[in-house]
């Protein structure tokens, strides 16, 4: 069974940093592209970032480009999101998600971790 478990969320002040993790199990992690998707309280879903299977290619939404960095450790079956220069508008539940080979929809999702940016 595919499992994705996020961690690392919490309360951080504006301008601060946080690193999210997503532990993957139940599949060959190194074979799949992975994503982060976020959802502000009471709002819709927003794609944040994507990384290919070996970590050599990444993409970001314009709203986080230059502030967030996606990475992965295939030996540890773990996806990361380093978030710097956090703003109030980054407050959201952050989900990691797996896409199938050759297509970028979200086949499996974690349960999410809440990031709150507030002073």
- Pick one of 71, 87, 109, 114: the residue that binds another protein (CB under 8 A): 109
Other CB atoms closer than 10 Å to residue 83's CB: what's the count?
Answer: 24
Q: Toward another protein, which CB reaches closer, 44 or 119?
A: 44
61 interacts with another protein by CB under 8 A: yes
Q: Min. distance of Cβ 67 from another protein in angstroms? A: 17
54 interacts with another protein by CB under 8 A: no
Q: In what order do the strands lie in the sheet with 68-73?
A: 3-7, 18-25, 78-83, 68-73
103 interacts with another protein by CB under 8 A: yes
Between CA 26 and CA 36 the distance in angstroms is: 19
28 interacts with another protein by CB under 8 A: no
Between CA 54 and CA 40 the distance in angstroms is: 29
């Amino acid at each position: 069974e595919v499992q994705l478990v996020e961690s690392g969320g919490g309360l951080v002040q504006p301008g601060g940093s946080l690193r999210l993790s997503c532990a993957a199990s139940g599949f060959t992690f190194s074979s799949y592209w992975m994503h982060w998707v976020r959802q502000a309280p009471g709002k819709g879903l927003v794609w944040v970032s994507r990384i290919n299977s070996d970590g050599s290619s990444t993409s970001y939404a314009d709203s986080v480009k230059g502030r967030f960095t996606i990475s992965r450790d295939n030996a540890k079956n773990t996806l990361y999101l380093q978030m710097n220069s956090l703003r109030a508008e980054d407050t959201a539940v952050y989900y990691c998600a797996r896409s199938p080979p050759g297509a970028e929809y979200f086949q499996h999702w974690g349960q999410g971790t809440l990031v709150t940016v507030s002073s």
